[in-house]
Amino acid sequence: MCGIVGVVGKTEIAPILVESLCRLEYRGYDSCGVATLNSVGVEVRKDVGFVQEVAYRQKFASAHGGLGIAHTRWATHGGVTRENAHPHLSCDGTFAVAHNGIISNHEILRRELRGLGHRFSSETDTEVFPHIVEEIHRSGISVEEAFVRALRRLEGSFAIAMISSRDPEKIYCARQRSPLVLGIDSGRHFFVGSDVNAFLHFTRRAVVLEDGEYAVLSRDGYFVRAIADGRTRSKPIMEINWSLGETEKAGYRHYMEKEIWEQPDVIRRAMEVSQKEIVAVARLMRAAKRNVLVGVGTTYYVSLFGQYLFAGLAGEFSPAFSSDESGELLMMDRETLLLAISQSGETFDTLQTIRQAKADGARTAAIVNVPGSSMTREAEIVIHQNSGPEICVISTKAAMAQMLLLMRMALELGYLRQHPPAMENLDLLREIMELPDLVETMLRNQQLQIRDLAHRFSNRRNWFYLGRGLYTPIALESALKMKEVTYLHAEGMAAGFLKHGTLSLIDEETPCVFLIPPKEAKDLYDLTMGSVAEVRARRGKVIAFAFESGGGKFDEEVILPKASVWLAPLLHLVAGQVLAYETALVLGRNIDRPRSLAKSVTVS
């Protein structure tokens, strides 16, 4: 939700902090700030606005000091104001703190601290922390000890970074249910960040902190200890195989556009995931009595797509749940396998579902994009989708890879079970190898046409996305893309559902984007065309993403390159992404950072 970075080095670090902050901005972007340590003490600069804007106004890059912390905020506790922006200071200004997460007992702590004479200048939960450290430190103990004792007073979740003029050579940081990673650029800089994007432009060597650990960084090195008992932990260094180029826009106007166009490559990488790993999950699924798929937002729709794949290719009913609701609905036990899907690997609701599953004795597997993220460490079996960094807040390429990996698993499970559709579709793997070219062709040939649609329809307030069967989750996902990036109302739905109520909303002002299956999927095709007729009868505008012309049955048609029945929805997926992107461009929206949204929702 928020982004934290801290750097200690042998040079002036403010320019590095600013650069890192820009790279973390996708985690939150309503306000930001930096705190550096120099001969004057702790110096804080912060304000409301996007990083580049605030950094320019407040002259972040000219803040002096060889160590500092910075924060980009997405408000949870307290409005979007300068006072609520991080870093926050103690009363005497000697401790500065940046925090991500929610300190759930902050009200009690605040009352207690007020009683001791502390004054607060923000409404945030975070601000209690520097005051507690200041209070504890008064008793004459070291800053490290005060930091750790203060951590022990906190309930809830936190990733915290702190600097102090009372110990001016160090950055203190800690993690409890909010991600935090160290970056090791030996001999030059040591970093702490909410994720590896904070330091990937300097080093690919990372150390992932676990819950309940804290670290102290200085110019000469770092150590990691347990918050509970202070014992030193030895931590492996992992190499992140993302390249810096992947985090640049590389000539595209937006990360969203770049990530849409990266999909051919992302598909190839998803196909490079070893078959051994796919088989391992398929075997677990075969052994389990119940398989459950879970994700949230886009990854819920990916899971739903998986539900159709497992039903169709493997003859297996594997219900998909949205992880924000799974607490109420999911019954897990030793005979259940939970397959979680997440781009960030940090989403609170999905992570909680994995933890609950483990506590109930269930087996767990996960498809995750971000290396070293919490889910990669907490799920029993992890498939790394290896799609590279997804910077745009809106998920596009990650979802594509996840869908393909689920397709491979469904095919494998079907094969293990000798389920006829899987046996008849063994060629599917070979066909997927052709998918990158199809996606590329589609992007090259249809982008202009979709752009034209965006120009003509961007003034419509309400959109519908309709599909049947395997195409239904894609309709839901395409509507989500439209909502997120254009702020227009869009509803995705199974086309068969339409006549059970929603048809009353359809009139000549309503664009209905239909995902038409290839004709070979005869039943689905006929059913979908039936729904097209229902919409047309109410004068709704039918925009068809189809594989051949409707011969006058559609108002608008975008003809996609021919693909087999199982792969066709993935071309619809891309067409939906492009339509959302182009419409947002026409409307002048903030495409990579839509209002009110943040990537990686690490709070409940």
Rg of the chain on CA atoms, in Å: 25
Report in angstroms how near the CB of residue 481 gets to ligand F6R at its nearest: 7
Q: Does 344 bind ligand F6R (CB under 6 A)?
A: yes
Report in angstroms how near the CB of residue 295 gets to ligand F6R at its nearest: 6
**Alpha helices (H) in 241-347, listed in sequence order:** 255-261, 263-272, 275-287, 298-314, 326-329
Three-class secondary structure of residue 28 per DSSP? coil
Report in angstroms how near the CB of residue 390 gets to ligand F6R at its nearest: 8
State the Cα–Cα distance between residues 277 and 180, nearest whole angstrom.
Answer: 27
* Cβ-based nearer residue to ligand F6R, 110 or 384: 384
Q: Does 600 bind ligand F6R (CB under 6 A)?
A: yes
* Cβ-based nearer residue to ligand F6R, 2 or 150: 2
Q: What phi-psi label fits residue 76: left (phi over 0), alpha (psi between -120 and 50 degrees) or beta?
A: alpha
State the Cα–Cα distance between residues 597 and 397, nearest whole angstrom.
Answer: 18
Contact residue for ligand F6R among 100, 164, 326, 343 (CB under 6 A): 343
> Any idea what DSSP says for residue 165?
T
Q: Are 66 and 189 in contact (CB under 8 A)?
A: no
Three-class secondary structure of residue 130 per DSSP? helix
Q: Does 298 bind ligand F6R (CB under 6 A)?
A: yes
Measuring CA to CA, how many Å separate 79 from each of 1, 357, 436? Answer: 15, 35, 45
* Cβ-based nearer residue to ligand F6R, 203 or 343: 343
Contact residue for ligand F6R among 101, 297, 414, 511 (CB under 6 A): 297
**Residue 453 backbone phi and psi in degrees, to 5:** -60, -45
Q: Does 347 bind ligand F6R (CB under 6 A)?
A: yes
Report in angstroms how near the CB of residue 392 gets to ligand F6R at its nearest: 8
Report in angstroms how near the CB of residue 388 gets to ligand F6R at its nearest: 14
Q: Minimal CA–CA distance to 301: which of 342, 357, 336, 264?
A: 342
- Which range touches ligand F6R (CB under 6 A), out of 163-171, 182-190, 328-336, 341-349? 341-349
* Cβ-based nearer residue to ligand F6R, 130 or 297: 297
State the Cα–Cα distance between residues 298 and 441, nearest whole angstrom.
Answer: 25
Q: Does 342 bind ligand F6R (CB under 6 A)?
A: yes
**Contact string 553-582 vs ligand F6R (x = CB under 6 A):** ------------------------------
Q: Does 373 bind ligand F6R (CB under 6 A)?
A: no
599 belongs to the catalytic site: yes
Report in angstroms how near the CB of residue 1 gets to ligand F6R at its nearest: 11
* Cβ-based nearer residue to ligand F6R, 37 or 488: 488
**Contact string 388-427 vs ligand F6R (x = CB under 6 A):** ------xx--------------------------------
Q: Minimal CA–CA distance to 227: which of 166, 173, 281, 167?
A: 173
Q: Catalytic residue, from 170, 397, 481, 599: name it.
A: 599
358 belongs to the catalytic site: no
Q: Catalytic residue, from 2, 32, 392, 512: name it.
A: 2
- Which range touches ligand F6R (CB under 6 A), out of 57-65, 192-200, 337-345, 428-436? 337-345
Q: Does 484 bind ligand F6R (CB under 6 A)?
A: yes
Contact residue for ligand F6R among 296, 475, 567, 580 (CB under 6 A): 296
* Cβ-based nearer residue to ligand F6R, 146 or 480: 480
State the Cα–Cα distance between residues 351 and 346, nearest whole angstrom.
Answer: 7
Report in angstroms how near the CB of residue 394 gets to ligand F6R at its nearest: 4
Q: Does 353 bind ligand F6R (CB under 6 A)?
A: no
In the sheet with 541-546, reading across from the earlier edge strand, the strands are 489-494, 462-467, 511-515, 541-546, 556-559
- Which range touches ligand F6R (CB under 6 A), out of 134-142, 221-229, 294-302, 559-567? 294-302
Q: What is the 3-state secondary structure (H, E, C) of 483-528?
A: HHHHCCEEEEEEHHHHHHCHHHHCCCCCEEEEECCCCCCHHHHHHH
Q: Are 513 and 464 in contact (CB under 8 A)?
A: yes
Q: Does 350 bind ligand F6R (CB under 6 A)?
A: yes
Report in angstroms how near the CB of residue 396 gets to ligand F6R at its nearest: 8
* Cβ-based nearer residue to ligand F6R, 227 or 578: 578
Q: Residue 444's CB: how many other CB atoms inside 10 A? A: 10
Q: Are 280 and 416 in contact (CB under 8 A)?
A: no
The count of C-alpha atoms lying within 13 angstroms of the C-alpha of 206, restricted to the half-sphere facing its C-beta, is 26
- Which range touches ligand F6R (CB under 6 A), out of 80-88, 102-110, 293-301, 586-594? 293-301
Q: Does 376 bind ligand F6R (CB under 6 A)?
A: no
Size of site (CB under 6 A) for ligand F6R: 15
State the Cα–Cα distance between residues 528 and 524, nearest whole angstrom.
Answer: 6
Written as one string, the DSSP assignment of 45-79 is EEEES-HHHHHHHTTGGG---SEEEEEEE--SSS-
**Residue 239 backbone phi and psi in degrees, to 5:** -95, 125
* Cβ-based nearer residue to ligand F6R, 128 or 357: 357
Contact residue for ligand F6R among 34, 532, 575, 601 (CB under 6 A): 601
Q: What is the largest CA-CA distance in the chain?
A: 83
- Positions touching ligand F6R (CB under 6 A) are 296-299, 342-344, 347, 350, 394-395, 480, 484, 600-601
Positions marked catalytic = 2, 599
